[in-house]
Structure 1
Amino acid sequence: MVTFYSIARTVVKSILMPLYRIEVHGREHFPKEGGVLLCSNHIDNLDPPVVGITAPRPILFMAKEELFKVPVFGKMLTNLNAFPVKRGMSDREALRKGLKFLKEGKVLGLFPEGTRSKTGEIGRGLAGAGFFALRTDAYVVPCVIVGPYKMLGKLKVVYGPPIDMEELRSRKASAEETTEVIMSHIRKLREDYC
């Protein structure tokens, strides 16, 4: 079925792939079905579309609430499977939506750092990623974007194998500890592909 998402993905892919000479590694690690929590580092405003065009399945992204108030752009975000989250506080509605999507077998994309890294270094993740990882049976797939974004440069997007969450889930680890485990996998991917 042709959707706004699939059309936009095709158009954006035809522009960004050659513009940034994007290399994609590890797509074979991405589960073909079932809920997936996709966690990536965040280095640029273009990260969501770049992850969206390189992942093998459609992604639902949380985006800061303010973006949905921008005329036309807000509507477009909704049509691109994004949903709003209030930053700096616990947004129960956004958390409920995220859990629902994962339990329905969809892909939820998160940037656990919560904001772009100005240095390119991978920072600390917020507890939200751990919250979703612990409260669902979704696969947790780490992703790293290795930049910088430079026209006709080379950008890498790397998907790692799903992280084994069994031990963390069985001992009811904290969301913070679980997020740190996820971030350590993202850092390791970066070391391997830098």
Structure 2
Amino acid sequence: GMNIQNAGFIVLAAALGIVVQRFFGWTIPQVFLALAIANVIVAIYIFTIVPEFMMRFLSWVFVRVLYRMRPHGIEQHVPDEGAALIVCNHVSYMDALILSASVPRPIRFVMYYRIFNIPVMSWIFRTAKAIPIAGAREDPELMRKAFDEIDAALAEGELVGIFPEGALTKDGQIAPFKSGVEHILERAAARGQIVPVVPMALRNMWTSMWSRRDTRLGRMRVPRRFRAPVEVIAQAPILDPAIDAATLEAKVRAMRGDAA
């Protein structure tokens, strides 16, 4: 099937090239230039219609320039469609981009509102449909809105990503998972939806750039090992709305192992 389609496109492209050369008198370089311009126009059009698609593509390119990605179990365990909640350890400022570049579906990430509101970056986060959240003591109304938006996204069959530690690790170890993940699952179950939870783990990120292992100045350096290998691991979805944060933490901790 795919081979026949590919052959058909090759024949069509060759025929188009012959027609353009014969009727317009274009040279081969001019044909390629026209195709390049057409690709740019199509890319701009796609960005205006589906901006998150372009953001995911740029994330994919950026991450693969900096790291050698080694995914494990993502195609088998991340659902191709329908709602799911991804829970993962939080090691560096690059974590969301790495997950976006590893998972073939768009992910709605839940992120701390102060980072979400950083000038310029805020536009990127909004384009990616990230969900800003605050602590109950900081801004209870924003926290309520965040959980409303998470619940609505899951009800619509979207993929939501959270880092249940609530902050970047300061020492490379996984911090206790907060109870927000339990609230998300309980709320979905209350309206009759059992949301699959996909445990994921990032390995070898602690020694990479943009973790808290380095000082702020250190984060601006070229990585000690350019294109360092990073493992992104996924396990089978858990269909248990009563699962608690501690159990999820233990699963992610076991997946991560000693390779922080």
What TM-score results when the alignment is normalised by the length of structure 1?
0.87
> What is the distance in 1 between the residues matched to 2:251 and 2:123?
34
Q: What code does the residue aligned with 1:182 have?
A: L
> What is the distance in 1 between the residues matched to 2:147 and 2:73?
28
Of 58-67 and 11-20, the range deviating more from structure 2: 11-20
Contact 2:56 2:106 in 1 (8 A): no
Say if 2:194 is the partner of 1:146: no
SS of corresponding position for 1:182: helix
Aligned to 1:115: 167
SS of corresponding position for 2:199: strand
Based on CA coordinates, which of the two structures has the bigger radius of gyration? 2
Aligned to 2:60: 13
> What is the distance in 1 between the residues matched to 2:81 and 2:259?
26
Say if 2:123 is the partner of 1:75: yes
Aligned to 2:251: 185
More helix by share: 2
SS of corresponding position for 2:161: strand
Say if 2:239 is the partner of 1:164: yes
Gaps of 5+ in 2: 1-44, 189-193, 209-224
Structure with greater contact order relative to length (CA < 8 Å, sep ≥ 6): 1
| Alignment RMSD | 2.0
Say if 2:159 is the partner of 1:84: no
Number of equivalences:
185
Identity of aligned residues (%): 26
Q: Aligned match of 1:96 in 125, 139, 148?
A: 148
Gaps of 5+ in 1: 169-176
What TM-score results when the alignment is normalised by the length of structure 2?
0.66
